[in-house]
A and B are shown apart, each in its own frame.
Chain A
Amino acid sequence: MSLKTIKNTQQKERLFQSLLSASGVIILVLVIGVFITLLIQSMPAIIAHKFDFFSHTTWDPVSGQYGGLSFLVGTLLTAFLALLISIPFSLSIAIVLGEYLTEGWIALILKTAIDLLAGIPSVIYGFWGLFVLAPWIRNLEIKLGVLPYGVGILTASLILALMIIPYAASLGREVIRLVPAELKEASLSLGATRYETVRKIILPYAKSGISAGFLLSLGRALSETMAVTMVIGNSNLLPTSIFSLGNTMASVLANEFSEANGSIYISSLLEIGLLLFVVTTIISLIGRRIIKKMSVHQ
């Protein structure tokens, strides 16, 4: 190779590296930028009601009361409940598609259906929840003797669960497929059944990846707006049971932002946005720590 071509290659290498670093920096700047904007915009509200925001459950903009606690509770409750409901389904799908049905047309149909589930607009889920799921829940509530709203925390969680299944299922399927064949063979050669191999070799090996899928699902559930807004009942009171009406941070923003008047009102809504940002970041950081601890390759 001549000296000139070597120089040329080196230049390309440097250009490539700086492009990569630039993309990294841009992402970082964007995230920090969003955070700072939210912080500055919510400053008036933070100054005006200090820690009342976290300790008060009354959100009544007309009388100037801005307590955000019920939205925080609503968000965490619906998201974790949705995750809990979705886990058995997404895990089973991941095991079936990752280990048992890895090829063939049934697998292809299933896989496509799961991926399609992730592509359905959330407003469609909201409509389905409102017109199909809510009446079912209402019947259930009548049977149980609780106030039959139909909509509420449970309905929102069920819709969310359905929406987040594809994320954990797809990632779970991938990591289960990546479990080395030689480990499965070792297990089978010791006289283990297929089920024992899945439970004691494959799942322990893949658990950090599977958990990453759950984390992805949880993140989606925390920030989902449209579908939740449609079926949660939009009550600003603190939910007392899973049948209560409620509101999440995202749904209150969607509902009230366009109608908000007065700088404190808008600023308080942005404070909710800031809180949502912080909560999702914290949960994602905790999740990452857990995943790292579980990882087989340390």
Chain B
Amino acid sequence: MTESVLRLDHFNFFIGENQILNDINLKFQRKKVTAIMGPSGCGKTSMIRCINRMNEWVKNARVEGEILFYGKNLFQMDPILLRRKIGMVFQRPNPFPTMSIFENVIAGYLLNGIKLSKTDKERIVEDSLRKAALWDEVKDGIHRKGTFLSGGQQQRLCIARALAMNPRLLLLDEPTSALDPKATSHIEELIIELKKTVTIVLVTHNIAQASRVSDFTAFLYLGELVEYGETTKMFTVPEDKRTEEYLTGKFG
């Protein structure tokens, strides 16, 4: 029996008068990859931004219902502490241009003012870069600026930066949408490798990607959860007609 790390319970999200997410009930299984799939504007990015409470800066944003993180309503937790436990990787690689590769990896500690010994720093940097499959490519130039790397390497650096904080949950917001096919397959292999240690939520508009890397898939359409289930099952025998149409490319 796999336990759930995260559960959305009758969750609604509004920006002003617009309802972005409508009564979402969804469970995320531990150490699995759950893909959130759907056409542009269906609310998938909004959903994961609610999970680490990044939507709180959006003007007139409002939530109803609960998101439970290890059984606790995360809207009652301290957002700063919550974000340290939930890592996020964005659509476009965004390493900090003022920092070296080394500093980028431990940026979470630097930003939070957490003091680390030199050996701890080196250990965390090497571990995280190894987990992100980037260590061998950058170990000789670790004190160079992160912005000298290629797009795919930069995105893996961002993954390493998120992993360095030892998150229990990793949110990937279309992490390959700005990358070429080769870099994309690199990241996809990495995602499959990473689920051994961390629970992953992957937002994607790429149907093939969802089928390649995810264990479970949630299909969102117009702010509603149309269908949720095991990826292999959903891709072979979708229950809802809209899912079938989306998967066969009729819209989206």
> Taking beta carbons and an 8 Å cutoff, which residues of A are in contact with B?
180, 182-183, 185-193, 196-197, 200-201, 204-205, 296-297
Contacts and interface: CB of A to CB of B under 8 A. Distances in A.
Contact of A190 (B57, B92, B111): B111
Nearest to B165: A190
Nearest to B57: A188
Contacts of B110: 200
Given A190-B84, A205-B98, A296-B98, 15 more contacts: A183-B96, A186-B90, A186-B158, A186-B161, A187-B96, A188-B57, A188-B83, A190-B83, A190-B107, A190-B108, A190-B112, A190-B161, A197-B111, A201-B98, A205-B97
Given A185-B90, A196-B113, A191 B96 contact: no
Given A200-B111, A201-B111, A191 B80 contact: yes
Contacts of A200: 110-111
A191 B90 contact: no
9 closest Cβ contacts across the A-B interface? A191-B84, A192-B111, A190-B108, A189-B88, A204-B98, A191-B83, A182-B94, A186-B94, A296-B97
B94 A183 contact: yes
Interface in B39-61: 52, 54, 57
A189 B111 CA distance: 11
A189 B87 CA distance: 7
Interface in B158-172: 158, 161-162, 165
Interface residues of B, number: 26
A227 to B, nearest CB: 38
Determine the main DSSP class of B at the interface with A. Answer: helix
A204 B111 CA distance: 12
B208 interface: no
B108 A191 contact: yes
A186 B96 contact: yes
A20 B95 CA distance: 38
Nearest to A193: B80
Nearest to A200: B111
A192 B98 contact: no
B237 interface: no
A183 B154 CA distance: 13
A23 to B, nearest CB: 34
B81 interface: yes
A190 B98 CA distance: 16
B111 A187 contact: yes
A132 to B, nearest CB: 41
A56 to B, nearest CB: 47
A215 to B, nearest CB: 20
A145 to B, nearest CB: 44
A197 B112 CA distance: 9
B112 A191 contact: yes
Contact of A180 (B82, B94, B161): B94
A201 B96 contact: yes
A200 to B, nearest CB: 5
Contacts of A183: 94, 96-97
7 contacts: A183-B94, A185-B54, A185-B94, A190-B87, A190-B111, A191-B80, A196-B111
A182 B178 CA distance: 14
A297 B145 CA distance: 11
Contacts of A193: 80
Interface in B96-126: 96-98, 107-108, 110-113
Nearest to A180: B94
Given A186-B158, A205-B97, A191 B92 contact: no
Contacts of B84: 190-191
Contacts of B96: 183, 186-187, 201, 205
Nearest to A205: B98
A186 B111 CA distance: 11
Nearest to B107: A190
Contacts of B161: 186, 190
Nearest to B98: A204
Nearest to B110: A200
A292 B83 CA distance: 35
Contacts of A180: 94
User: For A185, A190, A205, which residue has the most chain B Cβ atoms within 10 angstroms?
Assistant: A190
A216 B55 CA distance: 38
B102 to A, nearest CB: 15
A186 B158 CA distance: 9
A190 B82 CA distance: 9
A191 B53 CA distance: 11
Contacts of A185: 54, 90, 94
Nearest to A201: B96
Contacts of B87: 189-190
B106 to A, nearest CB: 10
A185 B107 CA distance: 13
Contacts of A196: 111-113
B90 A182 contact: yes
Nearest to B81: A191
Given A183-B96, A205-B97, A192 B112 contact: yes
